[in-house]
Structure 1
């Protein structure tokens, strides 16, 4: 029986598995491989990010949007990211925190995509 996400050890399970899937993915894998030079450091940052997001534990420092803004990512990339992320959570966990984690991933993807579209002008905007 699956348990809920309870602590940093559980976070490490889903972060490690998720980013393994990302690296193997034909659509988003190359983007991550080009952007991330040091995977252990990135994974450690993601452990801290999710520990802060889910449990309020201090330790994460950074600006995730600024890291994503220069990347060649669009809606289909966010959709694939979400698909892999939520499959990973569902594979290992079940419960209130797991659902909150998936919900937060949806909010982040939506917010990042909206900000990127606005920053880049979007299809319905003219930038002079």
Structure 2
């Protein structure tokens, strides 16, 4: 029976499975695999990130947007990322924290995409 996300052990379950899916994915996998040299280091950072985001546990240090800004990612990449993320959460968990986790992923994706579009310009912007 599924439970809610309760602690760092649960976070490790979804982070490990999610990033396994990312690495294997034909669409977004090549982007991540080309820049992440050590997946163990990345996974440890993601454990800390989600532990801070979901439970307020200190320990995460970093600037996720700065790491993603140089990547060749567009709206479609974020959509696939969210699809894999939601599938992973839904496969293992049910409850308020699981829903909060998915909502936070959506907010993060929207914020990253908005910032990337503003940084890169856009069809409706003139950059001189």
State TM-score, norm by structure 1.
0.99
Give ranges in structure 2 of 5+ residues lacking alignment: none
Please state how far the C-alpha of 1:123 moved relative to its aligned partner: 1.6
Give ranges in structure 1 of 5+ residues lacking alignment: none
Q: Which residue of 2 aligns with 1:58?
A: 58
**What stretches of structure 1 move > 4 A for 4+ residues in a row?**
none
Q: Which residue of 2 aligns with 1:9?
A: 9
Q: Which residue of 1 aligns with 2:44?
A: 44
Deviations 1:75-117 (A, max 9, x none): 0000000000000000000000000000000000000000000
Please state how far the C-alpha of 1:35 moved relative to its aligned partner: 1.2
Please state how far the C-alpha of 1:122 moved relative to its aligned partner: 1.5
Q: In angstroms, what is the RMSD of aligned CA positions? A: 0.4
The SS at the match of 2:49 is helix
The SS at the match of 1:27 is coil
CA distance in 2, matches of 1:34, 1:99: 31
CA distance in 2, matches of 1:23, 1:86: 16
Q: Which residue of 2 aligns with 1:28?
A: 28
The SS at the match of 1:57 is coil
State TM-score, norm by structure 2.
0.99
- Spell out the pairing of 1:1-128 with structure 2 (5 A cutoff): 1-128=1-128
CA distance in 2, matches of 1:97, 1:119: 32
Please state how far the C-alpha of 1:44 moved relative to its aligned partner: 0.1
Figure out how many residues of one structure are paired with residues of the other and give that number: 128
CA distance in 2, matches of 1:115, 1:95: 30
